[in-house]
Amino acid sequence: MRKKVIIGNWKMNNDKKETADLLLSLLKETWKKEINVKVSPSFVNLENAEKILKNSPIEVVAQNMHYENEGAYTGEISYKMLKSININSVIIGHSERRTIFSENDDIIKRKIVTALNNKMHVIFCFGESSENRNENKHYEIISEQLDVVMHSLTKNQWNQIILAYEPVWAIGTGVNATPEQAQEIHKYVRNKIAIAYNKNLANSVPIIYGGSLKPNNSKEIFSKPDIDGGLVGGASLSFKDFYSIIKSID
Ligand code: PEP
């Protein structure tokens, strides 16, 4: 059975105390051990978050990293720095990185290659814009974005990947994809992996959904057969909402 994954992406929110408070609240709660809960605080709070969550099942994930190991890249963070504070997973390809910070498929590919080659796990985000969907180009765009990892990864490297379908029009807008729209894309992605590799591998890859997940829509979205959890932005900043989203997959 595929693992279930819920990730809270806190983006550029929560200072040191707010981060600690949210984590301490989460630590008091329980859920089934099959559910992998991860949180992604800002860079400056990663180390403290890691310390607070030590010996807990909650994993700390970075929101970004550079593709080079080190060098003259002012303001950037390398995989080595992340690993030195026990951070072994990173979100790559988030739509805010693609649009606001102009990350293209080439940059995203380089980041993924660096992460995987250095034994990091990657939450790889992809998804179409509203224009793409209105022009009926969403499958084409998603397929292009996924070609960054399709064919080039070894079968073992797929164990280090979680795919996150995040339609851009649903991120932070309050308009979520319907469970049917999300399921349709997840099924398409799984089928694409099956064609490029094989069905067994395709069935082993967690594909999670992100985009205005809230306590009132998560249960129905998670009930779909190819949706293995969620990447939660806004709602993960509230302990009550985040915990209720975790419980909705329980
Ligand atoms: C995200 O940024 O990954 C996200 C899904 O945000 P939100 O839940 O706020 O739409």
What would the pLDDT profile of 4-60 be if each residue is shown by its tens digit?
999 999 999 999 999 999 999 999 999 999 999 999 999 999 999 999 999 999 999
Q: Which atom belonging to ligand 1 lies closest to the Cα atom of 212?
A: 10
Question: How far apart, in whole angstroms, are the C-alpha atoms of residue 39 and residue 160?
Answer: 17
Strands (E), 110-172: 121-126, 161-165
β partners of residue 211: none
16-27 and 43-53 helices, crossing angle to 10°: 30
| 177 touches ligand 1 (CB under 6 Å) | no
Contact 148, 105 (CB under 8 A): yes
pTM above 0.95, yes or no: yes
Catalytic residues: 94, 166
Query: How far is ligand 1, taken at its centre, from the CA of residue 187, in Å?
Result: 21
Give the pLDDT confidence score for residue 89 in this predicted structure: 98
Ligand 1 atom closest to 11 (CA): 2
Does pLDDT of 70 surpass 90? yes
Enclosing domain of residue 157: 4-248
Collapsing DSSP to helix, strand or coil, 154 comes out as coil
CATH number assigned to the domain comprising residue 102: 3.20.20.70
Residue 1: per-residue pLDDT: 79
Using CA positions, which residue lies closest to atom 7 of ligand 1?
A: 233
What single-letter amino acid sits at 221? Answer: I
pLDDT at 250 over 90: no
207 close to 190: Cβ distance less than 8 angstroms:
yes
Q: How far is the CA of 41 from the centre of ligand 1 (A)?
A: 14
Q: Render pLDDT for 154-212 as a digit per residue (tens, 0 to 9).
A: 999 999 999 999 999 999 999 999 999 999 999 999 999 999 999 999 999 999 999 99
Closest ligand 1 atom to residue 232 Cα is: 8
Q: Is the pLDDT of residue 151 over 90?
A: no
Cα 231 to averaged position of ligand 1 atoms, centre (Å): 7
CB of residue 212 inside a 6 A radius of ligand 1: yes
Q: Burial, 195: exposed, middle or buried (Cβ in 10 Å; 0-12, 13-18, 19+)?
A: exposed
> Of 1-5, 65-69, 119-123, which range is least confident?
1-5
* Distance (Å) from CA 179 to ligand 1 centroid: 16
**Atom nearest to 170 CA in ligand 1:** 10
What pLDDT is recorded for position 220? 98
Summary mean pLDDT of the chain: 97
Give all strands of the β-sheet with 121-126 in edge-to-edge order: 59-60, 35-40, 4-9, 229-232, 207-210, 161-165, 121-126, 89-92
* Token reading at 219: 């249960």
Name the domain count of the chain.
1
Q: Is 127 in the pocket of ligand 1 (CB under 6 A)?
A: no
